[in-house]
């Protein structure tokens, strides 16, 4: 069921991209080569530096904070699993009474 839904979304996305490309082909053909702008890598770097909104430190800070949240979540889930396992172990230990072997020996 899940695969069918994913396949359907994929097909609809490809059809949508095809429609957009089909509609834009006449506009692209009508453009003269002089009208098409190409930017060099240096121009893009300068524009990024002028804006100042792009900072490697900010990106690194965001990545590290997301990683920290992920590790905290996994630690929390692991501790919950460990607590459940300990409780289950205690319950099983309580089921196995100390006089079990005495009862087994009496039955012989």
pLDDT at 108: 65
Residue 69 phi/psi, 5-degree rounding, is -60, -40
pLDDT at 92: 81
Locate the domains of the chain by residue range: 1-32, 53-108
Confidence (pTM): 0.40
DSSP state letters, 37-92: ----HHHHHHHHHHH----HHHHHHHHHHHHHHHHHHHHHHHHHHHHHHHHHHHHH
| pLDDT tens-digit series, residues 25-82 | 988 888 777 767 777 778 777 877 777 666 778 889 999 999 999 999 999 999 999 9
| pLDDT tens-digit series, residues 8-23 | 999 999 999 999 999 9
Using CA atoms, how far apart are residues 10 and 92, in angstroms rounded to an integer?
50
> Is pLDDT at 97 greater than 70 in this prediction?
no
């Amino acid at each position: 069921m899940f695969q069918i839904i994913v396949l359907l979304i994929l097909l609809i996305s490809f059809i949508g991209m095809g429609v957009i490309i089909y509609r834009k082909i006449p506009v692209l053909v009508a453009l003269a080569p002089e009208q098409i702008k190409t930017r060099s890598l240096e121009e893009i770097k300068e524009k990024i530096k002028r804006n100042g909104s792009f900072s490697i430190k900010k990106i690194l800070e965001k990545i590290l904070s997301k990683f920290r949240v992920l590790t905290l979540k996994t630690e929390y889930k692991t501790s919950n699993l460990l607590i459940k396992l300990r409780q289950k172990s205690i319950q099983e230990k309580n089921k196995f009474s100390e006089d079990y072997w005495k009862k087994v020996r009496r039955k012989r």
